[in-house]
Chains A and B, each alone.
Chain A
Amino acid sequence: DAGITQSPRHKVTETGTPVTLRCHQTENHRYMYWYRQDPGHGLRLIHYSYGVKDTDKGEVSDGYSVSRSKTEDFLLTLESATSSQTSVYFCAISEDEYNEQFFGPGTRLTVL
Chain B
Amino acid sequence: GEDVEQSLFLSVREGDSSVINCTYTDSSSTYLYWYKQEPGAGLQLLTYIFSNMDMKQDQRLTVLLNKKDKHLSLRIADTQTGDSAIYFCAESPGNTGKLIFGQGTTLQVKP
**CB <8 Å contact, A103 and B102:** no
Nearest residue, chain B, Cβ from A44: B101
**CB <8 Å contact, B101 and A100:** no
Chain B 30-57: CB-based contact to A (< 8 A → 1; otherwise 0): 1100000000011111001000000000
Nearest residue, chain A, Cβ from B44: A103
**CB <8 Å contact, B101 and A48:** no
Interface size on B, residues (CB 8 A): 22
The segment from A11-19, A35-43, A67-75 that touches chain B is: A35-43
**CB <8 Å contact, B101 and A90:** no
**CB <8 Å contact, B96 and A97:** yes
**CB <8 Å contact, B103 and A41:** yes
**CB <8 Å contact, A94 and B42:** no
Known contacts being A103-B42, A106-B42, is A40 close to B103, with CB within 8 Å?
yes
In the complex, given contacts A45-B98, A101-B45, what are 5 additional A-B residue pairs having Cβ atoms less than 8 angstroms apart? A33-B97, A98-B31, A100-B48, A101-B99, A102-B45
Residues of B that sit less than 8 Å from A by CB: 4, 8, 30-31, 41-45, 48, 88, 92, 95-104
